Amino acid sequence: MIQQNSSAVASALRTISVEQLGLSALADALRAPEGDGLGPAFQRAVETISRAPGRVIVTGMGKSGHVARKIAATLASTGQPASFVHAAEASHGDLGMVQNGDVVVGVSWSGETAELAAVITYAKRFAIPLIAITANADSALGREADIRLCLPQAQEACPNGLAPTTSTTMQLVLGDALAIALLEARGFTAHDFRVFHPGGKLGAKLAHVRDVMHRGERIPRIRVGAKMADAIVEMSSKGFGCVGVFDGRGALVGIITDGDLRRHLRSNMIVDTPVEEVMTRAPRTIAPDALVAEALEIISRKISALLVVEEGDVVGIVHFHDLLRLGAA
């Protein structure tokens, strides 16, 4: 059994190593600036899609078709309107999904996929820009494309050299690179990203702190000069495991947490101790417009709650349990 497991791991490592070589070749091809190399073509593809008023239509067959579907999904989720059109279904009515103003991206390693013929013909007939992702510039797809993103030849990880492995990884990574380049050119932010991902854990992390924070009388407060006995009562009544310490002008000057309280319990006189002798000065805070993901990153076992500060004023408090209820943690 140990030998079999070892053999399986060795096979996995060989697969990863071969596919890494393919990605290295892809990176080298992108770095080459001269002539009709991949780098200049990639730049033209980004500019063409950025200028297009319509959608990106991604199409392909077989394993390339699966990659094409994923590329379309990634583009759409990062703010670039995109749809997948199955190459075989295109000639049976789905060409109606392709409109003037769109850009077609055809994905085919060989570039000779017969089912792509209808899409290629349609794109040329109606002057719809056609971008090819292929390893064969002289193929039917490559010759007809307005922009050729030519992938370098690479060894498949399959020992028989048959199953698409390295080739589909390179296609997928180039599609990701295209989506991210368009995202960056558009100035797409995490706040924009949330619009397309409102559900699940990712959507929860992309919510804003102001959406989950407690406000007003729920914020635990104590004044400088007060005794720890009062601070303990305030901490217990509000239930956040902490209390903010404020000066006479209402400015936040410190915080007392359960941890501070435990560290000072050895003193029998703690209830009579002024809060400023126990508090932690310059406490960690967060802005209301910060993402929940940022709050989650700050909150740890040592920090269970964060005071929310806007323009110098404490406007709320957010607790780890709030993030749990939201589904972010």
Query: Could you list the pLDDT tens digit for every one of the 329 residues in the chain?
Result: 445 567 999 999 999 999 999 999 999 999 987 666 899 999 999 999 999 999 999 999 999 999 999 999 999 988 899 999 999 999 899 999 999 999 999 999 999 999 999 999 999 999 999 999 999 999 999 999 999 999 999 999 999 888 999 999 999 999 999 999 998 888 766 555 555 555 555 555 667 888 889 999 999 999 999 999 999 999 989 988 899 999 988 899 999 988 888 877 765 667 888 998 889 888 889 999 888 877 877 876 567 888 999 988 999 998 887 777 766 55
In a domain, 204, yes or no: no
In a domain, 200, yes or no: no
Residues 6+ apart with CB under 8 A from 280: 254, 255, 256, 257, 260
Q: Where are the beta strands (DSSP E) in 74-177?
A: 82-86, 103-107, 130-134, 147-150
In a domain, 77, yes or no: yes
User: Hey, which residues does 59 pair with through a beta bridge?
Assistant: 85, 106
The residue segments making up the domain with residue 176 are 2-188
Cα 169 from Cα 108, distance rounded (Å): 13
- Tell me, yes or no, whether 111 and 49 share the same domain: yes
- Tell me, yes or no, whether 153 and 247 share the same domain: no
In a domain, 194, yes or no: no
- Tell me, yes or no, whether 164 and 224 share the same domain: no
Which of 157, 188, 219 is the last residue before a domain boundary?
188
- Tell me, yes or no, whether 83 and 215 share the same domain: no
| Count: domains in the chain | 2
Q: What pLDDT is attached to residue 254?
A: 92
Cα 277 from Cα 299, distance rounded (Å): 24
- Tell me, yes or no, whether 65 and 163 share the same domain: yes
pLDDT digits (tens, 9 = 90+) for 177-216: 999 999 888 876 655 555 555 555 555 566 788 888 999 9
In a domain, 201, yes or no: no
Tokens of 282: 């310059």
Contact 85, 57 (CB under 8 A): yes
